[in-house]
Structure 1
Amino acid sequence: MTIKVNNLTGGYGKKAVIHDISFECKPNEVVGLIGLNGAGKSTTIKHLLGLLTPQQGEMSINDVDIKEDIESYRRNLTYIPESPVLYDELTLEEHIYMTAMAYGIDKKTALERAMPLLKRLRLDNELKVFPIHFSKGMKQKVMIVCAFLVEPAQYIIDEPFLGLDPLGIQTMLDLIVERRNNGASVLMSTHILATAERYCDRFIILDKGKLVAMGNLDELRMKTGLESATLDDIYIHLTQGEQYE
């Protein structure tokens, strides 16, 4: 199951924010989407989710084109946003059931999948609680549970660590690794480059709406001539034009 982006140009209205971007996310890999604020990461993700209409380009998952069958396309992915989006009128349990309904998963299966996730995130005693009583970190953990119970082929995760405590961050990373090892593909936008360097298999680096580099760490080192550089070093070199010995 592969997500493919070819020559994607788009943005908001007639204003293009991203320009001629092409990449793939393949099974069994975590791809880090890296860039400064305003580089085009969120705009790229919104196009991938079908929330924005591209000016040009193609997007598909497992050869299902988003333009031809957006519902089938979306059923192959799940999304964790930077800021949690929950409904005050629904309990945690009802959020789980609502997610299950959207993906055609029966309630019994959804709860069976959710319970181990809830226990790992210490939310297993909060099923009947409304999210208005949750901290931001707890709300983000609800988003994680709902996303991972779907068990899709493709995960799209936007700045997943904001507001999470150390337990939540490590659980999130463990889940990402587990799903990657089980054949899923993960596209993860993050500013925490040390974590990205440790957990991502490849990197897509955006700057000013353009793709400036793509590859694993060794390939990026070769491209930049920075033989022993960290991802931080490479990122600054590519986006700020600084030279390193």
Structure 2
Amino acid sequence: MSEQPVLSVQGLSGGYSINRPVLHDITFQVQPGEMVGLIGLNGAGKSTTMKHILGLMNPQKGEIEVQGKRRTEDSEAYHSALGFVPESPLLYDELTVREHLEFTARSYGVSREDYESRGEQLARLFRMEEKMDSLSTHLSKGMRQKVMIMCAFVARPSLYIIDEPFLGLDPLGIRSLLDFMLELKASGSSILLSSHILSTIENYCDRFVVLHRGSIIAQGTLEEMREQAGRPGLPLEELFNVLVQGGSGI
């Protein structure tokens, strides 16, 4: 594994107001080929952390690097290394599913050959073959979410930022997504995944970062967090409850 992390967040403080930061000294890394779960209660700062990484918000303090690049130093290299799946699907109503994929592929400089093969694979994986030429405005919420996921995966950036991707997906869609994320990991891509469905991601993420009230209260592998909290064998969901309710901390 490379010594240089794909994502490095160091001493990040930030938010919507200079006088009232939402995030407080956030520090963590994501290594090549690693899936890290970013977990916390509503309002813990997960989405705000992701917005800072994506460049939608500027840090008040601290530094963020993607593939060793800061956004202020090389914006094009920084953003081309990122893929994003938002919590709520954001699509162009007058574009078809196929046109969304092609538009994304062109934006990332994906060759037509790769775009076509990846598009076919993703359409089969998410059972969207019959919807490829449908306008997005005619799709259900779950299908729109699938289109967002497919657009992110038609490119092959170094780092995927994925925010609550399971909302609206049927059980087969959730399994397809999880299996494909494992394929991406195996190919060397890294994933920062935010989800409230802890029982689902427990066996898929390599490490976890637990946010509470804008601060990291625990991070590491599940086994490391169990040991440091003195709660051996505890499932992730129960361990999370212990941490955020002020039990044995890490």
Between the aligned residues of both structures, percent identity stands at 48
- 1:12 corresponds to which letter in structure 2? Y
Q: 1:133 aligns with which of 134, 138, 143?
A: 138
Q: How far is 1:221 from its partner?
A: 0.7
Q: How far is 1:107 from its partner?
A: 3.5
Is contact 1:32-1:188 (8 Å) kept?
Answer: yes
Q: 1:4 aligns with which of 1, 8, 15?
A: 8
> Which residue of structure 1 lines up, in the alignment, with residue 194 of structure 2?
189
Which ranges of structure 2 fall in alignment gaps of 5 or more residues? none
Is contact 1:2-1:27 (8 Å) kept?
Answer: yes
Q: 2:127 aligns with which of 109, 122, 133?
A: 122
**Alpha-carbon distance between aligned partners in 1 of 2:120 and 2:191, rounded to the nearest angstrom:** 22
Q: Counting strand residues as a fraction of each chain, which structure ranks higher? A: 1
Q: 1:78 aligns with which of 66, 79, 83?
A: 83
**Alpha-carbon distance between aligned partners in 1 of 2:34 and 2:242, rounded to the nearest angstrom:** 25
Q: 2:53 aligns with which of 40, 48, 51?
A: 48
For residues 105-159 of structure 1, the C-alpha deviation after alignment (integer angstroms, 9 at most, x for no partner) is 2344312211111011111122221011100000011011111110111111000
| Partner secondary structure for residue 66 of structure 1 | coil
| TM-score, scaled relative to structure 1 | 0.96
Pairs aligned (count): 244
| Partner secondary structure for residue 57 of structure 1 | strand
Q: 2:173 aligns with which of 154, 168, 174?
A: 168
| TM-score, scaled relative to structure 2 | 0.94
For residues 214-243 of structure 1, the C-alpha deviation after alignment (integer angstroms, 9 at most, x for no partner) is 000111011111012111121111111246
Which ranges of structure 1 fall in alignment gaps of 5 or more residues? none
**Alpha-carbon distance between aligned partners in 2 of 1:129 and 1:9, rounded to the nearest angstrom:** 43
> Which residue of structure 1 lines up, in the alignment, with residue 69 of structure 2?
64
Is contact 1:96-1:111 (8 Å) kept?
Answer: no
Q: 2:242 aligns with which of 225, 233, 237?
A: 237
Runs of 4+ aligned residues of structure 1 deviating over 2 Å after TM superposition are: 106-109
Does residue 177 (structure 1) correspond to residue 182 (structure 2)? The answer is yes
Q: RMSD across aligned C-alpha pairs, in angstroms?
A: 1.4
